[in-house]
Amino acid sequence: MTEERIESAADFAGAPDSFQRLWTPHRLVYIQHGQQPSEEKCPFCIGPSLADEEALIVHRGKTAYVLLNLYPYNSGHLLVCPYRHIPTYDQATPEEVLEIGELTQQAMKVLSTVSKAHGFNIGMNQGEVAGAGIAGHLHQHIVPRWRNDANFFPIIAETKALPKLLSQVRDEISAAWV
């Protein structure tokens, strides 16, 4: 017969070590019950049929376009989307891949000029399990970052501190797009 062992909490990940952790169990509801729109209601398919101001589009290309994220991590958070409704990067055509890359570079230049960003987070969450808010339509995030831009508002108060209205940011970025 093996002896039962009661483990100390100090043996678990929540115990103090060289890493700091912030537990956010309220995010579990979002993770487990992420809402995905049907293809007919995909905002990235509907967006190009609307006026740029209404859809928050800052630039339209041949195979892809750029718009502001309606729920930004930071002010100026952009998305680059192909017009085609495809879920993952490996399904993009060579022309789409090229234009997504070119638009990403241009977005970085524009955000550096307009908002004086010190850096960027760029990435694609592909698939619902990877955290894609709209998993059915490929989109790349371009998030401008500044020194000391992180704060605890989103975690302790479920609030984002954004210094400008989305319409103002859209107008500034759109006007600076070359």
Strand partners, 66: 59, 80
Residue pair 48/85 in contact (Cβ under 8 Å)? The answer is no
Q: Tell me whether strands 78-82 and 57-60 are parallel, antiparallel or unpaired.
A: unpaired
Per-residue b/e over 51-80, b at no fewer than 16 CB within 10 Å?
Answer: ebeebbbbbebebbbbbbbeebbbbbbbbb
Cβ-proximal residues to 165 (8 Å cutoff; 6+ apart), any chain: none
Nearest to 146 by CA among 103, 112, 96, 101: 112
Q: How far apart are CA 117 and CA 97, in angstroms?
A: 25
Q: Which two tokens stand for residue 126?
A: 């592909």
Residues labelled as active-site residues? 139
Judge whether 69 and 112 are in contact, CB under 8 Å: no
